[in-house]
Chains A and B, each alone.
Chain A
């Protein structure tokens, strides 16, 4: 189908974009890569009055080294993130997970920021942001604020951002040395959304697990940090037994959906199996 009509603006700076968003009112939408928004417009599930295209705001594409943290611009594409030397060196989990998103053509346009703001429970990158203790930098004409990942994802496809706010970028602490990372994504056809996904990072000190980060995709309306699993592996020997028994905690605090891809019970089973696999892969 053809999208409904809308006004179109293409600001060249963050300031102009934020002003345009404020001026256009509640029925305006920012357009990033369009890989979620365009299908919604075509199906007329969304019909904003105005689209503000961020495609020419080059400052939003930057990936910057800030010392202990990396700042990934909201408009950095999946393609860019996967190949970025800073991301590969300091946040390899993000590069790994971004490789599993969609297909090459979608990754050429789809952006890190768009994936996060869209807050699809089956999206792969929200769980990664949660596992990496990301901080979201948000701007509006009213000023700037920071939102922690643990507070950013509020409900099904809903973030903590206000309609007049723009995501500028996401700050994530560098992982440092000694970490192994893995994103375990379960889906049944070549290019598909996760039925369940596990974002995982494990730091080992010899044969002992020193620290771990685990977060789950599509095990509820928002990504879930699996604190129970993390606690159950810390200080334990690196072994299949450790990982198997820790993975039993994976379903704690989850509210898995039932849909045509799988029942809630099936998803809970998957979460346990995939968490054990992810922990193992991180230490292999």
Chain B
């Protein structure tokens, strides 16, 4: 069995894996990172989106052996648990949550929540390339992620809200 070495959410793992093991199954079943769900068999829904070397991929369409030597970020790697974050007006957002996680909560951008990890990871990828997307650009950036509940309106609002906050945070960091 091939041996892989991957960095996932900041920790390094070395494992023997079957070549046919999908990255999403490795994350969920081997590493216990069940924050990343599987929603389809056809790479259409985007629920399983993670960052591979910084770029969004559908982890159900990648073999674990293909990720050998790469850096993977899942929804579980976002934010800084236990860290500081501006107090949210809602109650149940854990301290240290990522601005996207907070904004999805604040804007009611989820109902069942199944699409949310993928939506947030795809949004992160979008904001890396375009820190101030228009409504239309958010929709285009998330075209590979399906949501059966929300009708997308609040998701778009949440992404733009998080973008604003992330820009402000970035400014605060550069201007001491």
Contacts and interface: CB of A to CB of B under 8 A. Distances in A.
A110 to B, nearest CB: 9
A41 B41 CA distance: 10
A190 interface: yes
Indicate the member of B19, B42, B60, B141 with the most A CB atoms within 10 Å: B19
Contact of B49 (A1, A3, A105, A190): A105
A34 B62 contact: yes
Contacts of B44: 191
Interface residues of A, number: 30
Interface in B92-136: 122, 125-126
Interface string B59-100: 011110110000000000000000000000000000000000
Contacts of B145: 103
A37 to B, nearest CB: 9
Contact of B66 (A1, A34, A79, A106): A34
A39 B61 contact: yes
Contacts of A6: 19-20
B20 A106 contact: no
Contacts, number: 86
A104 to B, nearest CB: 6
A53 B66 contact: yes
Contacts of B18: 5
Indicate the member of A4, A6, A109 with the most B CB atoms within 10 Å: A109
Contacts of B144: 102-106, 191
A8 interface: yes
A75 B60 CA distance: 20
B41 A42 contact: yes
Given A4-B20, A5-B18, A39-B41, A109 B62 contact: yes
A55 B42 CA distance: 21
B62 A3 contact: no
Given A38-B60, A109-B57, A1 B20 contact: no
A43 B2 contact: no
Contacts of A1: 41
Query: Interface residues of B toward A: which range?
Result: 20 to 34
Nearest to B46: A105
B22 interface: yes
B125 A104 contact: yes
Contacts of A260: none
Nearest to A79: B55
A149 B176 CA distance: 58
Contacts of A51: 19
B20 A3 contact: yes
A39 B22 contact: no
B41 A8 contact: no
A5 B44 CA distance: 23
B20 A191 contact: no
Nearest to A51: B19
A2 B25 contact: yes
Contact of A35 (B43, B46, B126): B43
A31 B63 CA distance: 10
Interface string A80-117: 00000000000000000000001111101100000000
Contacts of B55: 79, 108
A109 B70 CA distance: 14
A148 interface: no
Nearest to B125: A104
Contact of B63 (A4, A34, A35): A34
B160 interface: no
B42 A39 contact: yes
12 contacts: A10-B65, A31-B63, A34-B61, A35-B61, A38-B61, A42-B22, A42-B41, A53-B66, A79-B55, A105-B56, A190-B140, A191-B144
Interface of B: 2, 18-20, 22, 25, 41-44, 46, 49, 52, 55-58, 60-63, 65-66, 122, 125-126, 139-141, 143-145
Given A2-B20, A39-B41, A43-B41, 15 more contacts: A1-B41, A5-B18, A6-B19, A8-B63, A31-B63, A38-B43, A38-B62, A39-B42, A42-B42, A103-B143, A104-B126, A105-B57, A105-B58, A105-B125, A105-B144
Ranked nearest first, the 7 interchain pairs of A and B with the lowest CB-CB distance are A103-B144, A8-B19, A191-B143, A38-B61, A190-B143, A105-B56, A3-B20
